[in-house]
Amino acid sequence: MTTDSPTNIPQPAGTLSMLERATHFPTVLLILAFLLALDTWVSLGYQSTLLSLSWSFVPHIAIGHVLIFIVAFGFYMSIGVPLAREIVDQLALYTMLPLWHKLFRQNENCESPYHGAVRSWKLREVAHMEQNKFYFDLYKEHETLRHDDRRSEWRIASIAFACLLLGGINYILLPKLGYPSFTHKMASDFPDIWEWILVILSFVLLAIWLMPMLRDDRADGWVYCLSLCRKLEDEKTKAREQGHHPRF
């Protein structure tokens, strides 16, 4: 007798599995970065673009050049992009983002988004003061989920930043140096449509890159804990009756 457990559910294999994975947004961005890097490599090494290559040209590509490209792309994504992004992020943090947070950041004392929600820092504080294991476990679960979400967001943002760098090199730098490029050729062949596509795609990638920095961490720093919420509301009501104004 078999059970319908997750381990017994048949998984898509081969081409279907690859197609399913290719629909994931991070995979789409990674493919875009790879194609931009590949077109840049073809342009610098063979004075051509991906659109101009044919299968008859493949035997003329040296294996060593392919290996160098793969290693270079790996170093670019794993070392080059994080270093470049760290520098650019710091510049953004000290120039543009303070104004953004001043205009759009939520008030620290804003009301909870739903009934029974309390601030995560308040949950942690009460958990330590009362040595309450339930509160502490709830806080750890919340922080773990938020950390996983942030890590996923930052990974997607890094890939988007990589696409922006490669797109700038492919569209602006290569033509100025006299090398052909896929993006520049498409802009020449289809100027009206392609310019709009590049503008929209650039804004989308820019928004994805900046979103983790623009996000207000306090906006999602709420945890559902009805017992603590009611306790804090009772304390707040008593304090108001006594003429005090506590900060919760």
Within a domain: 161: yes
pLDDT band (50, 70, 90) for residue 22:
low
In 3D space, the residue among 206, 176, 181 whose CA is nearest the CA of residue 194 turns out to be: 181
pLDDT of residue 136: 86
pLDDT band (50, 70, 90) for residue 3:
very low
Q: pLDDT per residue over 189-220, tens digit each?
A: 888 898 899 999 999 999 998 888 777 555 56
Within a domain: 1: no
Within a domain: 48: yes
For residue 57, pLDDT beyond 80: no
Q: pTM of the predicted model, to two decimals?
A: 0.74
Q: pLDDT per residue over 113-148, tens digit each?
A: 667 788 888 888 888 888 888 888 888 888 888 888
Q: Please, what sign has the CA dihedral across residues 109, 111, 116, 119?
A: negative
Within a domain: 14: no
Within a domain: 117: yes
Within a domain: 6: no
pLDDT band (50, 70, 90) for residue 7:
very low
pLDDT of residue 5: 43
Residue that wins the pLDDT comparison between 219 and 77: 77
The torsion angles phi and psi of 177, rounded to 5 degrees, stand at -90, 0
Q: pLDDT per residue over 144-179, tens digit each?
A: 888 888 888 889 999 999 999 999 999 999 999 989
Our count of domains for the chain comes to 1
Within a domain: 247: no
Within a domain: 94: yes
Euclidean distance between CA atoms 206 and 163, whole angstroms: 10
Euclidean distance between CA atoms 132 and 159, whole angstroms: 41
Residue that wins the pLDDT comparison between 44 and 116: 44
Cβ pair 104, 96 in contact under 8 A: no
pLDDT band (50, 70, 90) for residue 9:
very low
pLDDT of residue 14: 56
Structural domain that includes position 226: 24-105+112-241
